[in-house]
Structure 1
Amino acid sequence: MTETTARVAIHPPEMNRHASKHSAELTLSQFIRRLGHPGKEAGSLNKFLDQMFVIREAEGEERIQTESFIHECFGRAYGADVTSFMPRLLELRTRRGELTAAFGVRCAADAPLFLETYLDAPIDEVLERKLGYRPSREKIVEIGNLAAIYPGAVRWLIVALTVRLYQEGYQWVVFTGTTELKNGFHRLGLRPIPLASASIEQLSIDQRAGWGSYYDTLPTVMAGSIGYGYHEIQSHCEFPKAGEISYKEVIL
């Protein structure tokens, strides 16, 4: 998979577009607190998260480590060979500095999205058919390169990216999701809109190299309202207890 075949998008509209402007380290509980009252166990959740996790931009030497983490995870899961990565990578680390999960982002206004390969029209036109109006490409962000070492981390990533993208002014998130990723959204009470099936036959011959068995998972192109997701998480989210974590590598 090269950069031309792995376009996953973001920049913050109405804010500085450079990733270095978003590198302030935040604990996940700070993200959760901004959501209001996420569940009955908010107090214990905040204590657990403060002790365990930080989420931040992967830059410098840490970015190299994050790229290696994503490459190794996709290699183990699918026999895939990820050789390039998104302009911005965000990572989830334990307080001891252990890399737990990561994802990449890019804005639709910056370049054609890779998932548009699977669509019969640009993403803004496809969304217009579903919504009755056409969102600006500057308000659409694609996520990808998602990898995590245990299933519960998927939910923390979804919460964190939802809050961050909401704060950066985005309205729609789009992604090509495996069953594991879709389940992560569903467990948070979120229901992304299916847009199209993703098949390796839709790629050029050159683009097909490096994916391994990824397409055997029958991935689907999906879209979600960031504002809706933000308020749903705020109102209804229930989170796992620390003791429920089972360390198991999962790739999205």
Structure 2
Amino acid sequence: MIMAGGGLAIAAAIGIWFWQSSSASTTDATSKAALAAGIDAQQQKAIEGIVRDYILKNPEIIPEAVELLQNRQKADAISAVRATIEKPFAGNAFAGNPNGDVTVVEYSDFACPYCKQTERDIARLIAEDKNVKVVFRELPILSEASNDAALMALAAAKQGKYYAFHKTMFATGRPTPSTINAAANEIGLDMAAARAFIASPEAKQEIQSNIAIAQQMRFTGTPAWVVGDQSEVGAVGYDGLKEMVAKARAAN
């Protein structure tokens, strides 16, 4: 019976060891769990002693356990929004293979220098890995100008020219009214149609949805990434992207 209920008893022991200062109700709950597993108070105390001794001798398991828990929480958060975030806005706000076996989702801001730096990494990734799809999501959090650039990017997507605008905007410079218009004109956007779309509820709703999901995912800046069950924030570089893709591919 001790072996059969060992998991619950160990969980109870760990809870008592790490949270001795918690409320009495928490301690009662762990004791009840042990009793439900057929473990009496004396057996529970012995197991707690073993667990305590093991943790003191092997403290490296604590950050390992925390990392495992965080990864599980990330995977759960991603699963809840995967269908939404992996679907490109207007059907074409992506680069690479539309039927790729791995989808990389990037949240970016045109005013973010690290996002600009990342553009080279994405270009290299899709050039060297022909089975990757990169979906772009606008997350304009740095300035009003970055919000204006994001809206123009969505307008470009409605005209089937998202990735062309994305690359041109980053190459043109930091977003200002003049650089945004210059990038839009360079790729041949219908400016009247673009301005009409920018004023539409659909455009604003897309930005708001991206921001809400980013908050839900606890993204603290840009660029932010979702690849498979992994999420990261920051300029992870080409090697970092390649590693995330490899892990996602291996998990499929």
Relative contact order (C-alpha < 8 Å, sep 6+): which is higher? 1
Report which of the two has the higher share of strand: 1
Q: What TM-score does the superposition give when structure 1 sets the normalisation length? A: 0.24
More helix by share: 2
When normalised by structure 2's length, the TM-score is 0.24
Which protein has the larger Cα radius of gyration, Structure 1 or Structure 2? 2
